[in-house]
Amino acid sequence: MSKGLRLSEKWFHRGLWLVALVFAGFLIGLGGTVVGDLPKVEKRLSLDDFMDPATTTALRTAIKTATRAEQDAQSALEQAQLKRRAAQADSAAARDTFNNWLATRRATQLADQDPELIERTRALDALKARERATGVAVEAQQQAALDARQAAARERGKLAELQEVAQKLLNAEYRRVELRVFLYRLALTLPLLVAAGWLFAKKRKSTYWPFVWGFIIFALFAFFVELVPYLPSYGGYVRYIVGIVVTALVGRQAIISLNRYLEKQKLAEQLPDAQRREELSYDTALTRLSKAVCPGCERAVDLKNPEIDFCPHCGIGLFDHCFKCSTRKSAFARFCHACGASGEQARPAPPVASAA
């Protein structure tokens, strides 16, 4: 169609397309904001929503208590181990001193040192008893830490079982929420798509066509970008079923439209040449001629052949002769390109003389 437009008209046409795109962009931005806020309609769920609050609280309290007891036992164990090491060091030092003294006593064989031997032996036994006591304290703290650790592990196991059951329920609820959010998207998108279809069928050539096309672009974007990628997937069934249904509907409509178009063309080709020419707009005829197709039936025609004045497929006149200068010109031209005379008074091409 652009070949039949004036230069200024071409630029105005491009500017209006820019208006359509800008209008569609703002609509897409608004629609994206609305669709992005749709998930906020649903309550944000967590595992705690699917677990018994009393049981969960008791288990977590028990885990916290056992963990604290384990930490306390571990701290006490470290202290007990430090005391045991100190007692062991004192006992080892005293034993070495006792052994050295005992060796000296055997060398001197002094009987008056027997009371000191008894005293040193008692001191060494006391250090040994202290070492043993610290060892018992270490073992007790180890046992306490082990008991606390095992108690915490048992409570964590019970809590993990509850969480596993709750996770299954949460996943099922997530799927239901996903489906509901998709239905919200569908409830917003489907009316837009229907409105876009109606506007395309009725208003795409109206005075305000830039806004019509902007809305159509917005509706298509909302459907294919804001809706289709968020189809819920239950093993792929929903996506494939929706794809089959949409393809079937679009294919059916395309077949019906094609049959209607062919039937309309057949009926149009039966009309008189003058009536068919009146029903064709000037811009449409120029656009089809620029593509080397017949303006009437849209079949390919060799327009460069000077002997072809009528379409060999539907019979509509393609070329005639100027009434003033008899120049061969397009039958759809409004003025003669040779003399500028009006094309409305063109006369048919003169008959070709038959061969003798």
Confidence of residue 22 (pLDDT cuts 50, 70, 90): very high
CB of 310 within 8 A of CB of 316?
Answer: yes
Residue 155 Cα distances to 48, 58, 62, 69, 70, angstroms: 16, 9, 7, 14, 14
Higher pLDDT, 97 or 335: 335
> What are the beta bridge partners of residue 330?
319
Q: Is residue 328 scored above 50 in pLDDT?
A: yes
Higher pLDDT, 8 or 252: 252
Q: Is residue 326 scored above 80 in pLDDT?
A: yes
The percentage of the chain sitting over the pLDDT mark of 90, rounded to a whole number, equals 0
- The fold for domain 47-181 equals Helix Hairpins (1.10.287)
Instruction: Burial-class residue 273 by CB neighbours within 10 Å (0-12, 13-18, 19+).
Output: middle
Mean pLDDT of the chain: 79
Summarize pLDDT for 82-108 with one digit per residue, the tens: 888 887 787 777 777 767 666 666 655
Domain ranges across the chain: 47-181, 233-270, 281-356
Tokens 């006591």 correspond to: 133
Average pLDDT over residues 230-246: 70
Helices (H) and strands (E) counted in the chain, each on its own, are 7, 2
For 299-314, give the DSSP string.
-B--TT-TT--B-TTT
For 122-163, give the DSSP string.
HHHHHHHHHHHHHHHHHHHHHHHHHHHHHHHHHHHHHHHHHH
Q: Is residue 281 scored above 80 in pLDDT?
A: no
Distance CA 298, CA 200 (A): 22
CB of 342 within 8 A of CB of 334?
Answer: yes
Distance CA 200, CA 3 (A): 24
Confidence of residue 352 (pLDDT cuts 50, 70, 90): very low
